[in-house]
A = this chain, B = another copy of it.
Amino acid sequence: MAEQSFQLYDTTLRDGAQQEGMVLTVEDKLAVAMELDALGVGFIEGGWPGAVPRDTEFFRRARTELDLKHAVLAAFGATRRAGVPAPVDPQVRALLAAETPVITLVAKSHTGHVRDALRTTLAENLSMIGGTVRHLVHAGRRVFVDAEHYFDGYQLNREYALAVVRTAAEAGAETVVLCDTNGGSLPDEVAAVVAETHAMTGVQLGIHCHNDTGCAVANTMAAIDAGAIQAQGTAHGYGERCGNADLFTVISNLVLKRGREVVPLERLAGLAATGRAISELTELPGSAAAPYIGESAFTHKAGLHASALRVDPDLYQHTRPELVGNAMRTLVSDMGGRSSIELKARELGYDVEAGSDEVARAATRVKELESAGYSFESADASFELLLREELTGAPRTRPFEVESWSVSVFGAQAGDAGETVRTEATVRLSVQGRSITATGHGNGPVNALDTALHAALDPCFPALARLQLVDYRVRVLSGETGSSADARVLISYQDGDRRWGTVGVDANTTAASWHALLDAVHYVLLDERPGRATGAPAHHALAEPLSP
């Protein structure tokens, strides 16, 4: 039975977004929220409406576009300004305008911060907290209060810190969240302060930790053991400086080590997949060493362990990896290549023989290509094309040939109207001996080439019509040799309800993109001949290699 009363509060989209290098679009934020909802967190803090334009926009779009099944949205903001009544404070109005079921207010609980950062009196700060909470509760919102710098403030002036907690609760705040904002606390200190605060106030408490002593997860666990009923954290521990408490680790520890089913077991089994999906959206990969869901979390290399692992895997793992959707891996140094190719080929539905020549050839080619800069991890379609060639032992059958391609971009100043830019691509292909020339326009070389390819081929191969380019990334492979270094282009496509990728590497970036575009077309046409309108290869249809 899932534990109903415990509050899992995710702040990836607000505090996590302070992570260096994280830039989320509104679309990214909506997609991350859907992932967190599917995992089963109770509260998703979406941002700071009124202060960050993108967050205001997120809440506006969330109302119509976000169909949460389980979680509720929280808007984050500050208490009213000193001397300004809550109902007319623009920032408080923006919080209400976000129309979320929950509003989380940050409140100062450290006398030094009230004086030096807020520049107001201790009494006015309490009045700001009480007044703002009352106003929001009166407007029908559930209100949480984040007591900022609580642990440092508590050491400095315990009575004032406690007064903040009491004031918030008396004004109607449902939970007061004690924040280790600077992240400098250790678990014993956190446990003591949470227990004392609970004993002195009787208020329902939450915990919000940062990882500056490497103890964010432990501090969160200690606070929960001491009575906190809300845990705040972020996906992968994203956050500024050393990050926030990793909510994924906290959830796993609570369920698997404490037997507190804060998410149901069947959702916990999706945790690793949730982690991967969110990493792709943020473009910030989680650590391979991340507890529970990291790709190395259940990977064994030690000889000492290997013999024991054969006898009983549970002797050398602290929990079963499948409970969080992860898997055990053993690193067998120089066999790593072939076995991972075999594994991947089976994943794709190919019936390959262990240790076969075909697999050895594919492994050798992958190794060569990877040392030339290719990367197949997110280019499954390019990998499958390569695998097919090796499994069938014949060069790829090409439904068309490329004769030439070109693309031009022209920009000119157009007076006050600014700059006008025009991009045009031309492709010359031959399909069964017939030459086809087509032209396409677009926003940049890749888009124009894509458009030209579709214009040339869609009439012959109707299956291509539904292939849509959704994302591409360019990586310069050597940072030391200027823009004349090799470039790797990864392109992602939507193909009906499937999403897959291709890779191209070339000294010329546009050529690298062109090769990745061609791989996509060849992938869709694997089972096609001109005029035949069958579907693209689905994995289940690839159970055996094509005859050449």
Contact = CB atoms under 8 A, between A and B. Distances in A.
Interface in A481-511: 482-485, 487, 492, 506-511
**Chain A's interface: helix, strand, loop or mixed, by majority?**
mixed
Which 7 A-B residue pairs are closest in the complex by CB-CB distance? Answer: A184-B318, A218-B218, A444-B509, A117-B308, A214-B217, A447-B483, A404-B412
A373 B54 CA distance: 10
A354 interface: no
A228 to B, nearest CB: 15
A404 B409 contact: no
A446 interface: yes
19 contacts: A20-B377, A23-B375, A25-B477, A27-B480, A53-B371, A106-B304, A112-B315, A117-B307, A182-B318, A186-B218, A213-B253, A241-B298, A405-B412, A409-B510, A409-B511, A443-B487, A444-B483, A469-B482, A473-B473
Contact of A240 (B57, B302, B307): B302
Contacts of A478: 25, 27
Nearest to A246: B214
Contact of A242 (B184, B294, B410): B294
B331 A214 contact: no
Given A116-B308, A315-B117, A511-B411, A479 B27 contact: yes
A431 interface: no
Tallying the copies of this chain within the complex gives 2
Interface of A: 17-21, 23, 25, 27-28, 48, 51-54, 57, 78, 106, 112-113, 116-117, 149, 181-184, 186-188, 211-219, 221-222, 225, 237, 240-243, 246, 249, 252-253, 257, 283, 287-292, 294, 296-305, 307-308, 311-312, 315-319, 331, 334-335, 337, 367, 370-371, 373, 375, 377-378, 401-413, 419, 421, 423, 442-447, 450, 468-480, 482-485, 487, 492, 506-511, 514
Contact of A188 (B28, B225, B317): B225
Contact of A301 (B240, B291, B408, B468): B240
Contact of A20 (B216, B301, B421, B443): B301
A188 B186 CA distance: 13
Nearest to A489: B474
B316 A257 contact: no
A291 B211 contact: yes
Nearest to A484: B443
A466 to B, nearest CB: 13
A237 B283 CA distance: 24
A182 B316 contact: yes
A446 B445 CA distance: 11
Given A241-B289, A483-B450, A212 B318 contact: yes
A294 B213 CA distance: 12
Contacts of A445: 409, 445, 509-510
Nearest to A238: B289
Contacts of A186: 218, 221, 253, 257
Contacts of A25: 373, 477-478
A407 B404 contact: no
B240 A299 contact: yes
B410 A406 contact: yes
A524 to B, nearest CB: 16
